[in-house]
Chain A
Amino acid sequence: MLLYSKLKEKEKILNNDLITENWWVSPLLVLLGLLSFVAYSTWAAWQGEHFWWSAGNEGFGGYLSPFYSPTVYIDPSKSGVPPMNHALLGTWPEWLWWLPGQSPAWLILIFPLSFRFTCYYYRKAYYRAFSLNPPACAVTPIKGIPSKVSDITNNKIKIFNSGKRYDGEAGLLILQNIHRYAMYFAVIFIFILSYDAFLAFFNNGKFGIGVGTVILTINPILLGCYTFGCHSIRHLIGGNLDCYSCSLYKDKVNHNSWKIVTFLNRRHQLFAWLSLIWVGLSDVYVRLVSMGIVNDINTWGI
């Protein structure tokens, strides 16, 4: 028989202590992965040099780091930068003196950054790993110092209250709904980076292939697999329809494109990480070659 006096409150029994698996492993990995990417990309964007390699040749072709593409402004006094004819808008303008490292990367990183930040996959990843709301499934959201982040996100601007109230994406985070606009820009970037891949097949106007060519060609492919698996594209391309059989166009065009996007969408997490890592590696490689630390193996013999 149960003795009522011995009983504990239900809430005290049903808590996180019941969970035996190591639920913190995966948010921790995500945390470390994202932090190291942010740290590296900030450092790399700050440099403002060594993002281009063409062995000093001025002719068509060369390796351009994806962090710096397209080259909006170029400061020709720096080393490892493309020749001036690559600059979209000319030399570094006076009024941008305040940008750290006089680096054009800041001007463009904002686009891929906002795309990934509002991506439905990354949202899941950082809500779990950074806001800890929830840190893992069935685990109580962690209140306390780390959930100051959730306080900001959950309580609109009232930063320092208890963190009790939860607004999900209906409060301040309603801003996440701009994702499809970030997506439009991200699609443009796929074309820009594909052009860079094309550029990497040439040096001084001569066709050839090097290790950098391969790296910079895989880059837009992985980014494309990530971008075209986007939930917003999946919606806009056919997911918004209720009836595919109702017209031949909807059936053939919308449904088929929706199926392709769905295929990529099911692997969205995979491509989110692959493309992230690859973009970083591409920058590392171009940087090392441009600094002369690594020798690019290629058919041009340079």
Chain B
Amino acid sequence: MKERDFKIYRGDNERGELVNYKCKVTEGMVVLDVIHRIQADKANDLACRWNCKAGKCGSCSIEINGKPRLACMTRMNEFNEEEKIVITPLKSFPVLKDIVSDVSWNYEQNKKIIPFSPSKKDKEKDFVMMQKDVDRVQHFRKCIECYLCQNMCHVLRDNEGKEKFSGPRYMTRLASLEMHPMDKADRIADIKDVHGSGMCNITRCCTEVCPEEIQITDDAIIPLKERVIDRFYDPIMIFFRKIFGKN
């Protein structure tokens, strides 16, 4: 058993400090275990959020050595024994206390999305679709709302784009609704204007960080950008729509 060095952010949304802690690390521990051990032995007032410890609830999102991670899914053996590990709260959202952030901005974005809208007819009869259609939308439903992607996205993180962009998590939700065979709502104009698909410069950090390995950029954002192009930027498509009607 070896004592290892940690630094944990202690403070609130305005001010704080990186406090040094030592902690014995045993085999099989994840970073969340370390936080718990420090909390139990050295800092009883350390705030931390967690729930499932299985990478499925999305509560334990923090940053480890400056990178957004799930505390419960980051194993200690991926770091060198000598390496000092710095644990900080999500950079893109306000800090409530210590390493717990207030992610409620995300819920506000969610409310702006037109919900699932099947037609009355489809709701009444049994709608039949094949597995391939199910797969495509279900892929997006693996999301555990950890908001690591929202935190990682440089538009929200560093470029102060919170007013203009709903973020990758909601691009994913929009894609799952837009591509749903039963859904009848039209969100294309919203995707461009309300949710700001143009703000994303497809640099793929959201995809890299997603613990559920959702292909956010390739399967959600780019297809949505292409649908926006169909509607607003492709002169031939616009011309044909004018002549032959909607399809």
- Chain A positions near chain B (C-beta within 8 angstroms): 2, 4, 6-10, 13-14, 16-21, 120, 123-124, 127-128, 133-134, 137-138, 140-141, 166-170, 173-174, 177, 180, 231-232, 234-236, 239-240, 242-246, 251, 255, 265-266
Query: Which residues from chain B contact A19 at a C-beta distance below 8 Å?
Result: 65-67
Which residue from B88, B155, B233 sits with its C-beta under 8 Å from A168? B155
> Main secondary structure on chain B at its contact with chain A?
mixed
B14 and A137 contacting across the interface, CB-CB below 8 Å: no
- The 8 Å CB contact of A9, one of B14, B165, B234, is B14
Q: Cβ of B233 and Cβ of A138 under 8 Å apart?
A: no
B179 touches A242 (CB 8 A): yes
Given contacts A127-B201, A242-B178, 5 further A-B contacts (CB under 8 A): A127-B202, A166-B159, A242-B181, A245-B129, A255-B132
Q: Which residues of A contact B15 (CB under 8 A)?
A: 4, 7-10
A7 touches B11 (CB 8 A): yes
Sorted nearest first, the 8 A-B pairs with minimum C-beta distance are A170-B198, A18-B66, A243-B181, A19-B66, A166-B159, A137-B205, A235-B226, A7-B15
- Quick one: which of A8, A20, A21, A133 contacts B201, CB cutoff 8 A? A133
Given the complex, which residues of A lie within 8 Å of B63, measured CB to CB? 14, 18, 138
Docked complex Cα distance between A140 and B158 (Å): 6
Given A13-B88, A20-B83: A120 touches B202 (CB 8 Å cut-off): yes
B132-185 interface (Cβ within 8 A of A) = 132-133, 152, 154-155, 157-161, 164-165, 178-181, 183
A134 / chain B contacts, CB cutoff of 8 Å: 154, 158, 203, 205
Of A17, A168, A246, which is within 8 A of B199 by CB? Answer: A168
- B222 in contact (CB, < 8 A): yes
Tell me the complex Cα distance, A225–B128, Å.
35
Contact B226 A138 (CB under 8 A): no
- Supposing A6-B17, A141-B154, A231-B226 touch, asked if A18 and B65 sit within 8 A by C-beta, the answer is yes
Q: Which among B17, B66, B199, B229 has the greatest number of chain A C-beta atoms within 10 A?
A: B66
Contacting pair A245 B128 (CB below 8 A)? yes
A166 to chain B, nearest CB (A): 4
**B155–A169 CB distance below 8 A:** no
B16 touches A244 (CB 8 A): no
Report the bound CA distance from A17 to B88 in whole Å. 12
